[in-house]
A and B are shown apart, each in its own frame.
Chain A
């Protein structure tokens, strides 16, 4: 009965318009399944058997990407309930916890973020210990390092948004480092080197590296807006582009690494 129904669906014009190949049972249709699907065609058609063992890759790169997707989806849903201004930010989080059905959104987003940091570190360790950064994969290793930085910045900018004590003081500690930037930070070495003609100092508390980050001299409403935009738009876009390059280069550089 079910088999009949399935057969009917699979022979329908609708099904065949979506999947332009038969059930992946033989070599040809299995190849087609990968090649004719926009998502699956990230993969090569065939892979080395030793390369896809779990004990070799630990699946950590894939897990990082999965968590990026989970963060994107839960993040978009969170944006429905959150206003990035000091008057509302904290109370919106409280309301989210109290009133939103299946209120696990923030939990999934936060623990997913921490898990993503762990996964990306372990992925980097695996790539290092298998020597997979060596030629021809030098460039892709560099892209991976930038992705690591972007991931940590994503996590850092998101840390401010709940607007509780944990958030603003963690960000204060972090952004205080900006003040210490040599030459460009007010508290850093040689902060008085750059001068406008006439001897007016170029780097002040209202123009230094920390001010650029916070749009203010301390973590306030401008910093919240700035971190929100970075967290929800700029950094995810950067990550998405870099991920595309990273995946594309895996293919171009010879797939999952293995003994040459």
Chain B
């Protein structure tokens, strides 16, 4: 990407701090923040470490240090790159910064209390939530807390409104779409999914399943432990799955969609100029091409022309989809997860399994896209059905 390096260098000239070392640093960060590098090799390991080392990182000294480091990177970057500065300063992106900080603080509070509680459970001591089990009157103990929160929230909201004008661009022009056109930031996780799936999946089916899955959750999770207190040890599986969905597949994708997707929804590093003329070659191929055509990346395939019958043409993808959605849950119930299946009963198990295979389809498609440039499992434009 020689053009982007030059624009990068010229843009960096306008930043507060600039040196060859910083340019080099920015270039490396731009490169490694691509989704195919940062998601599997940074965010996923970080997520796993967060769960495994929760007793270590939640110690006040450690977490304070981590938080300071995060702030240095997040806000310090504004000094070295005007491109980054303009992204962070965009009024409608400010809530994302607030969300990220709120999320970090809340995650710390949750995992800290989980660490303490898990320690107490191991030692047979009462939980944090049980140490002050006596009841107090709502007036004044709760009512006053609420009043203080209300006053604080009002003042913060007024200060925020005073300091930052609500965005208003030029009047609506139905003939002139901006590039990129973006949905509101809280939906950008879904828009980012459009990279991997067609709108009927990313915009309709998957969001629908998120809502259905969330509502179904209490009926699927039959673990009676961890009800009404913070813990990780007593329900590691539920917490890992849910937080993976929320933090990685929702929040991180929102950050990608907002901060790192520029014109034509091309990827740009955090310190990179949004060059609207950048051309990214579309080299993605369908599973049917892999299956029928011998000259593909892997070198296997039937080495035959694509059949004209669409169902025969897409047979590999159709078989795979039927396997993934319908057969895999049954297979799991019969083999590895047999014990779980018997414990949960078939209705609960299959509801959970179908939700999981659809959730798993996103990381699966991501990996296949990055490794094999796979475009669609099933490509049936005859029915607008591409998966």
- Are the C-beta atoms of B227 and A132 separated by less than 8 Å? yes
> Shortest beta-carbon distance, A193 to chain B, in Å?
9
- Are the C-beta atoms of B138 and A111 separated by less than 8 Å? no
Flag whether B172 is at the interface (Cβ < 8 A): yes
In chain A, positions 122-153 with a C-beta closer than 8 Å to chain B are 122, 125-126, 128-135, 137-138, 141-142, 145-146, 148-149, 152
How many angstroms from the CA of A128 to the CA of B153 in the assembled complex? Answer: 24
Flag whether B196 is at the interface (Cβ < 8 A): no
- Are the C-beta atoms of B186 and A134 separated by less than 8 Å? no
How many angstroms from the CA of A70 to the CA of B158 in the assembled complex? Answer: 11
- Are the C-beta atoms of B229 and A34 separated by less than 8 Å? no
> Shortest beta-carbon distance, A235 to chain B, in Å?
15
Name the A residues within 8 Å of B217 (CB-CB). 133, 141
Closest to A132 in B: B228
- Are the C-beta atoms of B166 and A163 separated by less than 8 Å? no
Q: Are A126 and B172 also in contact (CB < 8 A) when A50-B133, A104-B162 are?
A: no
Name the B residues within 8 Å of A218 (CB-CB). 174
How would residues 136 to 149 of chain B score, 1 for a CB under 8 Å from any chain A CB and 0 otherwise?
A: 11111111011001
Q: Are A152 and B157 also in contact (CB < 8 A) when A166-B92, A259-B129 are?
A: no
B218 contact from A33, A122, A141, Cβ within 8 A: A141
Flag whether A62 is at the interface (Cβ < 8 A): yes
How many angstroms from the CA of A155 to the CA of B154 in the assembled complex? Answer: 19
In chain B, positions 235-269 with a C-beta closer than 8 Å to chain A are 235, 239, 242, 246
Which of A12-20, A178-186, A242-250 forms contacts with chain B?
A178-186
- Are the C-beta atoms of B106 and A125 separated by less than 8 Å? yes
Which of B175-183, B287-295, B328-336 forms contacts with chain A?
B175-183
Which of B23-31, B199-207, B275-283 forms contacts with chain A?
B199-207
Name the B residues within 8 Å of A125 (CB-CB). 103, 106, 110, 246
Flag whether A162 is at the interface (Cβ < 8 A): yes
Flag whether B339 is at the interface (Cβ < 8 A): no
How many angstroms from the CA of A220 to the CA of B228 in the assembled complex? Answer: 48
How would residues 350 to 387 of chain B score, 1 for a CB under 8 Å from any chain A CB and 0 otherwise?
A: 00000000000000000000000000000000011100
Flag whether B109 is at the interface (Cβ < 8 A): yes
- Are the C-beta atoms of B215 and A145 separated by less than 8 Å? yes
Q: Are A111 and B137 also in contact (CB < 8 A) when A174-B184, A258-B229 are?
A: no
- Are the C-beta atoms of B140 and A188 separated by less than 8 Å? no
Number of interface residues of B (CB under 8 A): 92
Flag whether B304 is at the interface (Cβ < 8 A): no
- Are the C-beta atoms of A189 and B384 separated by less than 8 Å? yes
Name the B residues within 8 Å of A115 (CB-CB). 95, 98, 157, 160
In chain A, positions 28-64 with a C-beta closer than 8 Å to chain B are 30-31, 33-34, 40, 43-56, 58-60, 62-63
Interface residues on chain A, size class: 35 or more
> Shortest beta-carbon distance, A8 to chain B, in Å?
24
How would residues 170 to 210 of chain A score, 1 for a CB under 8 Å from any chain B CB and 0 otherwise?
A: 10111011011110010111110000000000000000000
Closest to B127 in A: A259
How would residues 213 to 231 of chain B score, 1 for a CB under 8 Å from any chain A CB and 0 otherwise?
A: 0110111010111111111
Name the A residues within 8 Å of B81 (CB-CB). none
Taking chain B's interface residues, is the majority helix, strand, or loop, or is none over half, making it mixed?
A: helix
B110 contact from A49, A126, A163, Cβ within 8 A: A126
Closest to A55 in B: B109
Name the A residues within 8 Å of B242 (CB-CB). 128
Flag whether B73 is at the interface (Cβ < 8 A): no
Closest to B224 in A: A134
> Shortest beta-carbon distance, B39 to chain A, in Å?
21
In chain A, positions 56-102 with a C-beta closer than 8 Å to chain B are 56, 58-60, 62-63, 66-67, 70, 86, 90, 93-94, 97
Q: Are A260 and B228 also in contact (CB < 8 A) when A63-B149, A141-B217, A159-B184 are?
A: yes
Q: Are A47 and B95 also in contact (CB < 8 A) when A55-B109, A62-B149, A108-B161 are?
A: no
How many angstroms from the CA of A106 to the CA of B91 in the assembled complex? Answer: 13
Flag whether B77 is at the interface (Cβ < 8 A): no
A190 contact from B109, B130, B191, B383, Cβ within 8 A: B383
- Are the C-beta atoms of B170 and A164 separated by less than 8 Å? yes
Closest to A168 in B: B172
How many angstroms from the CA of A250 to the CA of B361 in the assembled complex? Answer: 36
> Shortest beta-carbon distance, A45 to chain B, in Å?
6
Chain A to chain B contacts (Cβ below 8 Å), 22 pairs: A34-B139, A43-B138, A45-B138, A47-B135, A47-B142, A50-B130, A50-B133, A66-B153, A104-B158, A104-B162, A115-B95, A118-B102, A125-B103, A126-B110, A129-B230, A131-B225, A134-B226, A138-B218, A155-B186, A165-B176, A185-B204, A190-B383
Interface pairs A-B: 5 shortest CB-CB: A177-B203, A180-B199, A107-B161, A138-B218, A114-B95
